[in-house]
């Protein structure tokens, strides 16, 4: 029988090989699991953009599209090709977090940081989908490492240029990566011995490097009436009257606790906002606070008016997790009871992550026939269960293949020439899953609604009199579609299917005689 002291000694002396093996195993699992889900709407949209590369796009920079461009040239227009770099970047981010934690604190803190990152739902599940987040978090982490090394190095300008380049690359994926520059400036202001850097050439060379990366996007937006800026303003509800709504802020906090895992979120919030136990002699602590606070507070303030999306503050937790792990000993000394929560925190996070990878436990199919046969009271109960079923977080990665197959059958029977959908995500998914990837369109628009409004539409592609199949999720035609076609006839209503489980109904209408 192995004595506990022997097991502890083995783990201590073989820590790095074991962690390396863990990263490899997790990465291999993610490569496999990434092929078990259909693309989400955003992934399909970025894939579509990768076939129409540009300096920028309506709502984002070219980062995600360019990454998928390389992935599909390696592995084709497949789900694996789209998601390959998402999984690879997640592994590299884990290694980067380990390196940053070790640099700022210790190997022990680095190990705990890596373990936490592998377990929390936001990073574990998000690492499989090829959206803007894997790129944003990876470049945020690498820029944080580069800045810390730059301030400690005497090697000249190279590391400052590298820091600017990494922030710039992150910005190509997500505009909010620019906030990391504010984080660096806050750190320099916070630490008296670092304030002089705000007046030195290397700091401004870093800013200039970021500007070089941003310039093509700025020019593109200037040529397109600053639609990227307008979209950001609307996305945060900043185009409307500001109204403080406590329920929205509480929702933001609750959602963040859910995607991080409650105990880990509580620990991070305590580490950030209760600094009485910090190792105050460490610049590292203040560096991590500087990396966390600006981004978290921006979205916290915005959420006083409208709740931010769960993934928006994701990069700031790079610092939050390391801050918790690096100050854990001081944390436990201040709050001895917290030591008992470590196992519970890991177990709860692991359960959340495992269940999010297999959400069969949420599948509550309610056949439409039940509603017809049920009385008013039972009908309300069934509606309630149906609504619960719709919150399955993986529903957005299921059902598209069934919709496309049904749409092909209807199109063949009705003799339609092309497909239209009511939003950019469904249109992108149709384009990906249709054989040969023919373009699926949105209804034409007089204004710029999204990227599909910029690309050529069906009016520029098909002659008058053409016939189309409109596939949509809401029982109402857009006014633009009524304007474009002489008649629209509802042909069928059928649900998107996840195996034998219906997800939601879709409507299939034939649009005749394009005007």
CA dist list (Å): 61 to 129, 158, 228, 266, 487: 18, 25, 9, 33, 38
- pLDDT for position 276: 62
Q: Are 471 and 403 in contact (CB under 8 A)?
A: yes
Q: What is the pLDDT of residues 274-283, one digit of tens each?
A: 766 565 558 8
Q: Is the pLDDT of residue 372 over 50?
A: no
CA 178 – CA 140 distance, rounded (Å): 9
- Structure-token pair, residue 435: 């054989």
Residue 207: which of 187, 183, 181 has the closest Cα? 181
Distance CA 411, CA 405 (A): 10
Lowest-pLDDT range, 143-147, 241-245, 373-377? Answer: 373-377
Q: What is the pLDDT of residue 375?
A: 44
Q: Residue 511: what pLDDT?
A: 95
301 close to 82: Cβ distance less than 8 angstroms? no
pTM: 0.88
pLDDT at residue 378, rounded to an integer: 41
Task: Output the CA–CA distances (angstroms, integers) from residue 356 to 17, 344, 350, 448, in the order listed.
Answer: 28, 18, 10, 36
Of 101-110, 144-153, 303-312, minimum mean pLDDT range: 303-312
Give the number of other Cβ atoms within 10 Å of residue 280's Cβ: 10
Q: Which residue has the tokens 């992108």?
A: 428
Mean per-residue pLDDT of the chain: 85
* Contacts by residues 239-244 (CB-CB < 8 Å, ≥ 24 positions apart): 242/305, 243/305, 244/304, 244/305
**Mean pLDDT, residues 236-251 taken together:** 80
Asked if residue 444 lies in contact with residue 459, where contact means CB atoms within 8 angstroms, the answer is yes
Q: Among 371, 410, 366, 441, which residue's Cα sits nearest to residue 506?
A: 410
The pLDDT tens digits for 130-182 are: 999 999 999 999 999 999 999 988 777 899 999 999 999 999 999 999 999 99
Task: Specify the higher pLDDT residue, 483 or 390.
Answer: 483
**Residue 2 reports pLDDT greater than 70:** no
- 21 or 161, which is more confident? 161
Alpha helices in 153-190 (DSSP H): 158-173, 179-190
CB-based contact 315:140 (threshold 8 Å): yes
Backbone angles phi, psi at 499, to 5 degrees: 65, -120
- Kindly report, residue by residue over 419-448, the tens digit of the pLDDT: 999 899 999 999 999 999 999 999 988 778
Tokens of 415: 């003799």
């Amino acid at each position: 029988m192995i004595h506990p002291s022997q097991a502890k000694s083995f783990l201590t002396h073989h820590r790095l090989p074991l962690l390396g093996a863990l990263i490899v195993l997790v990465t291999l699992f993610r490569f496999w699991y990434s092929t078990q889900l259909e693309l989400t709407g955003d992934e399909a949209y970025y894939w579509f953009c990768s076939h129409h590369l540009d300096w920028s796009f309506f709502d984002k920079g070219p980062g995600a599209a360019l990454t998928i461009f390389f992935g599909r040239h390696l592995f084709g227009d497949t789900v694996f090709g789209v998601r390959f770099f998402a999984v690879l970047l997640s592994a590299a981010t884990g290694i980067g977090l380990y390196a940053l934690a070790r640099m700022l604190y210790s190997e022990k803190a680095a190990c705990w940081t890596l373990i936490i990152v592998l377990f929390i739902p936001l990073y574990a599940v998000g690492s499989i989908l090829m959206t803007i987040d894997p790129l944003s978090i990876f470049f945020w982490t690498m820029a944080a490492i580069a800045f810390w090394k730059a301030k400690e190095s005497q090697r000249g300008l190279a590391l400052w240029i590298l820091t600017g380049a990494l922030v710039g690359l992150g910005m190509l994926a997500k505009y909010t990566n620019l906030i990391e520059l504010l984080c660096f400036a806050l750190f320099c202001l916070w630490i008296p011995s670092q304030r002089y850097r705000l007046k030195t050439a290397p700091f401004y060379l870093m800013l200039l490097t970021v500007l070089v990366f941003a310039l093509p996007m700025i020019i593109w937006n200037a040529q397109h009436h600053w639609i990227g800026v307008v979209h950001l303003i609307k996305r945060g509800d900043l185009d409307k009257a500001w109204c403080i709504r406590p329920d929205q802020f509480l929702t933001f906090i609750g959602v963040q606790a859910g995607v991080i895992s409650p105990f880990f979120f509580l620990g991070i919030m305590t580490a950030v906002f209760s600094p009485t136990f910090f190792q105050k002699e460490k610049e590292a602590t203040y560096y991590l606070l500087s990396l966390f606070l600006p981004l978290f507070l921006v979205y916290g303030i915005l959420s006083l008016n409208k709740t931010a999306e769960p993934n928006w503050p994701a990069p700031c937790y790079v610092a939050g997790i390391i801050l918790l792990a690096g100050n854990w000993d001081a944390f436990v000394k201040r709050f001895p009871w917290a030591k008992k929560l470590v196992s519970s925190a890991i177990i709860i996070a692991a359960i959340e992550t495992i269940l999010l990878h297999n959400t069969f436990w949420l599948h509550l199919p309610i056949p439409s026939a039940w509603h017809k046969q049920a009385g008013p009271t039972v009908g309300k109960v069934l509606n309630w269960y149906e609504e619960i079923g719709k919150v399955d977080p993986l529903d957005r990665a299921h059902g598209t293949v069934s919709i496309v197959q049904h749409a092909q059958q209807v199109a063949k029977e009705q003799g339609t020439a092309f497909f239209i959908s009511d939003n950019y995500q469904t249109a992108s998914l149709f384009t990906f899953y249709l054989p040969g990837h023919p373009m699926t369109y949105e209804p034409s628009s007089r204004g710029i609604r999204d990227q599909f409004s910029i690309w050529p539409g069906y009016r520029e592609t098909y002659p008058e009199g053409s016939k189309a199949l409109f596939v949509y999720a809401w029982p109402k035609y857009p006014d633009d579609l009524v304007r474009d076609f002489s008649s629209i006839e509802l042909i069928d209503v059928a649900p998107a299917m996840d195996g034998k489980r219906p997800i939601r109904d879709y409507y299939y209408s034939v649009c005749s005689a394009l005007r």
